């Protein structure tokens, strides 16, 4: 892979491109991994939790829906 010439490492064109690509992936992957945790948490808090709470309150009778439907009446009652 790397040839030594008088104590210096000499890279070929392909080896240099592979090294640069690896460094780019390493530099960009860490930021995406840490930001994805924040994205999952925000998705949970902003979307899933309010929807779940609203559906729970409808199912438990805390919130009355403004229309009647036989299927929903049988399902919820």
Mean pLDDT of the chain: 79
Q: What's the rounded mean pLDDT across residues 9-29? A: 83
Which has the minimum average pLDDT: 36-40, 42-46, 71-75?
Answer: 36-40
CA distances from 1 to 5, 13, 26 (A): 13, 11, 20
Q: Which residue has the higher pLDDT, 23 or 10?
A: 23
- State pTM to two decimals: 0.45
pLDDT of residue 19: 87
Return d(Cα 44, Cα 49) in angstroms, integer: 6
First to last CA, the chain: 72
């Amino acid at each position: 892979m790397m040839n030594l010439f008088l104590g210096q490492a000499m890279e070929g064109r392909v080896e240099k491109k592979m090294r640069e690509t690896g460094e780019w992936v390493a530099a960009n992957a860490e930021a995406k991994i840490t930001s994805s945790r924040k994205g999952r948490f925000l998705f949970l808090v902003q979307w899933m939790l309010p929807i779940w709470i609203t559906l729970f309150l409808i199912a438990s009778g805390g919130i009355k829906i403004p229309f009647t439907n036989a299927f929903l009446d049988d399902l919820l009652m």
